[in-house]
Structure 1
Amino acid sequence: MQHRIVLACILSLMTLGAVCAPAIPEEQQQNQPHAGQLTQAKPFTVELRFDIKKGEPGLPNEYTRLVFADGSNRYVALVRRSGKVVTEGALRGATVQEWGFHEVTLGPETNGRGTGYLVITRGPGDILYLKTQLRQITVAGKRGEPRSAFNGLWEVSGATGKFNGLQGAGTLRIKRLSESERQWVLEGELSEP
């Protein structure tokens, strides 16, 4: 009996909510996404540049490392690096900060993994948060010398201001341009807000 009373109350409230819900003008209904509707994703490519020694003026560059003393040749690093977006488009000139946690094993075949976030800021209140997963492997380079290759994944995990509502994901590559300069290339798809 109690279950019937509770069910009747719920149904009454649902009916009352439908009757009392404010009417939305038809022109606004056409502009609002319906439940489950996704916006069109477009191809997306952006290039970031980091100077891991200097960073961007006025932004912190921090690197802290814990070396394991157990003979395993491992270390973990907490990084906060700053850089810039250098490609054309809506993000051109934006500042970027990498907040990362990296686990690395040194040796003839150095390898590692990292997770973190890229915080892309373009003007006050316009912030795009990208979650990243990185993988470092050793591959044969020129003349058979081993070199590290860095690749991974990214996805939008939050946004504010003009970036609010953006959704997307893709792949990333990191290339060592010099002793201190790193190039990050992110490719994938990004929807408009």
Structure 2
Amino acid sequence: MSGLVNALVIVAVAALVISRQFSARRLDADRRWWLLPAILAVVALREPGLIDAHHHTEAVVLLAAELIIGLGIGAGWAWTTRIWVEPDGAVWTKSTKASAAVWIGGVVLRAGLFGLGELLGVRQGGPALMCALAATLLVRSGVLVRRTQALTSADGRAPSYDRIPAYGGDRPRPAWKERV
């Protein structure tokens, strides 16, 4: 794919995922939560230019830093997402203001890495960013599934509310319906 197509894919996936996360959504922990990150990683790894051949060591270090930032953003995003269980056992999630702060911090760190790469003369492309986005989504989804499994009992009923480790409060709040 060309650089423009890579950039459009990255922007489209990020916009879709982020916009969906800031509205209350029912979470299905049994679905294939790893599929989108896996597709992004495969597309990124198939692209040439993941590592700059002229600055191999610097490019690998920058890619590793990008992946570490991606993992951190995913974990931070998942742990700042509010999760609650309805009386019928349905699990709901909604990203919070803290989640937005995690994303903003991640964008700032990634911009700093890009600037550092430019100073070093390392050619950076979309595949590295796509790998980091895949890592972010994979970690976020995995942590949310894990948190969801901790919330629901083995028989699928809602747990006692005194042990829900939801971010943003000790007690669950009822789901609200957002209107467009």
TM-score by length of 2: 0.24
| Structure possessing the higher relative contact order (Cα contacts under 8 Å, 6 or more residues apart) | 2
TM-score by length of 1: 0.23
Higher strand share: 1
